[in-house]
Amino acid sequence: MKDTHPKFDIVIFGATSFVGQILTRYMLAQFPIEGELKWAIAGRSQNKLNELKQSLGIAGEPLDILVADSADENSLHELCSATRVVISTVGPYALYGEPLVKTCVALGTDYCDLTGEVQWIAKMLEGYEDQAKTTGARIVNSCGFDSLPSDLGVYFLQQHAKQKFGEPCSSIKMRVKKMKGAASGGTVASMTNIFKEVASNPALRKLLANPYAICPPDHGNKVRQDNMNRPQYDNDFNSWLAPFVMAVINTRIVHRSNALVEGGYSPHFEYNEAMLTGKGLMGGGLAAGVGFGLGGFAMAAVIPPTRWAMEKFILPKPGEGPSQDAQEKGFYDLRFYGTTDSGQEIRCKVTGDQDPGYGSTAKMLGQAAACLAQDISKENTPGGFWTPASIFGNQLITRLENHAGLTFEIID
């Protein structure tokens, strides 16, 4: 039986991962260890956790350490019993994530993560959603660059559309205007693992192509969505478009939000994402080049010998990622354009002040977990698999603007 007043509010499982270390430093700066919010770090290696703690200096001295391994259910049971919320950065989630979700759901412990693996979320929904509703565990996937800015950007635009026009947008496009950042070994491992799974299980291809793959069965939206996987011209943005690699997860989360937010956005909601590459020959050429590059990467990742060569010689390894300098110089600028059934138009932008995948992601994940622990009561919000927009809404937008370097703004 779980203690009704566990020792910690938040435990970071995977604190020694590339992103977990950035998150730990961010948490220390935001939430002093002996302050109101009680938090601790966890991982599978006591030595690596000790090293991380030492690297934090005097401020990190009171930090508690918990050792737990995804392969050891007893250790996960102890971890989940000791806290109200677990943050997990232990990935690829399809390889290591399920035992923790299973334990959180069994004990009613809240959970948030950084997964971008749609096939794994679909599997967790099938296995644990009903039980989470009875135990009270609130599970919130995809609380990093995938998919917070997209999910909350759409939510933000819909709030303003309803206020201004008295109706929500039935169609929204998200366009990446500018972005600077790089991938870590952990992200690359998660992506190549998806290609491995598809190669051995062709049915997954169908699931990954389904825009409603993680919607509740009764979601009712029958609109044919454009997966934007080829270059095309967008008159609303006056620019060529290239496929955006994160659209595969972001669009699925946004469609799940449409089914879960109070009142829903629209029963025939349309949503897609792409990258702006500019006008004219240059813009068209760039869009074609990005599409070709992504197609080439996907093909090489499906074929075992080329996948092996890429993993060995080209791509970052687990634990590696962009330098501190690259994280600080990174940024993103996302534009949203919505139209309502009666033809009204509205636009907004969402920006982040550090590289999307690590500097900014760590801050978003930390604030999402704090929001879950401090703002979203069990009395008002029952257990289940939520999306960031449907569980956090404006409370997280405010936190992200005040403490995580994001902006949300309606534009002309």
Closest to 126 measured CA to CA, from 101, 109, 151: 101
User: In whole angstroms, what is the distance from residue 376 CA to residue 409 CA?
Assistant: 24
Nearer to ligand NAP, 258 or 361 (CB): 361
Q: Is the peptide bond before 147 cis (omega within 30 degrees of 0)?
A: yes
Decide: is 48 part of the binding site for ligand NAP (CB under 6 A). Answer: yes
Decide: is 252 part of the binding site for ligand NAP (CB under 6 A). Answer: no
Nearer to ligand NAP, 184 or 266 (CB): 184
Name the segment binding ligand NAP (CB under 6 A); options: 88-96, 170-178, 293-301, 335-343: 88-96
> What tokens were used for 69?
């391994």
Decide: is 361 part of the binding site for ligand NAP (CB under 6 A). Answer: yes
Q: Residue 347 in contact with residue 412, Cβ under 8 Å? A: yes
Decide: is 70 part of the binding site for ligand NAP (CB under 6 A). Answer: yes
Distances (CA, A) of 40 to 242, 292, 407: 41, 44, 29
Nearer to ligand NAP, 96 or 297 (CB): 96
Choosing from 44, 84, 138, 349, the residue that interacts with ligand NAP (CB under 6 A) is: 44
Nearer to ligand NAP, 25 or 162 (CB): 25
Name the segment binding ligand NAP (CB under 6 A); options: 64-72, 79-87, 280-288, 371-379: 64-72
Nearer to ligand NAP, 78 or 234 (CB): 78
Q: Is the peptide bond before 92 cis (omega within 30 degrees of 0)?
A: yes
User: In whole angstroms, what is the distance from residue 361 CA to residue 233 CA?
Assistant: 30
Q: Which helix (H) or strand (E) holds 129?
A: helix 118-135
Q: Residue 91 in contact with residue 185, Cβ under 8 Å? A: no
Interaction residues for ligand NAP, span 362-401 (CB under 6 A): none
> Facing residues of 164 across strands?
none
Name the segment binding ligand NAP (CB under 6 A); options: 3-11, 141-149, 341-349, 401-409: 141-149
Q: What letters, b where the CB count within 10 A reaches 16 and e where it falls short, cover 383-395?
A: bbbbbbbbbbbee
Q: Which helix (H) or strand (E) holds 349?
A: strand 345-352
Nearer to ligand NAP, 90 or 348 (CB): 90
Decide: is 187 part of the binding site for ligand NAP (CB under 6 A). Answer: yes
Interaction residues for ligand NAP, span 8-27 (CB under 6 A): 14, 16-20
User: In whole angstroms, what is the distance from residue 142 CA to residue 165 CA?
Assistant: 30
Choosing from 109, 150, 184, 367, the residue that interacts with ligand NAP (CB under 6 A) is: 184
Number of residues that bind ligand NAP (CB under 6 A): 35
Supply the DSSP string of 42-82, one letter for each residue: EES-HHHHHHHHHHT-GGGTT--EEE--TT-HHHHHHHHHT
Q: How far is the CB of 403 from ligand NAP (least distance, A)?
A: 18
Supply the DSSP string of 141-184, one letter for each residue: ---BTTBHHHHHHHHHHHHHHHHHHSS-EEEEEEEEEEEE----
Nearer to ligand NAP, 15 or 125 (CB): 15
Interaction residues for ligand NAP, span 313-352 (CB under 6 A): 318-319, 321
Q: How far is the CB of 37 from ligand NAP (least distance, A)?
A: 22
Choosing from 181, 186, 388, 393, the residue that interacts with ligand NAP (CB under 6 A) is: 186
Decide: is 114 part of the binding site for ligand NAP (CB under 6 A). Answer: yes
Task: Name the residues that contact ligand NAP, by CB under 6 A.
Answer: 14, 16-20, 43-45, 48, 69-71, 89-93, 96, 114, 116, 142, 144-146, 184-187, 190, 318-319, 321, 357, 361
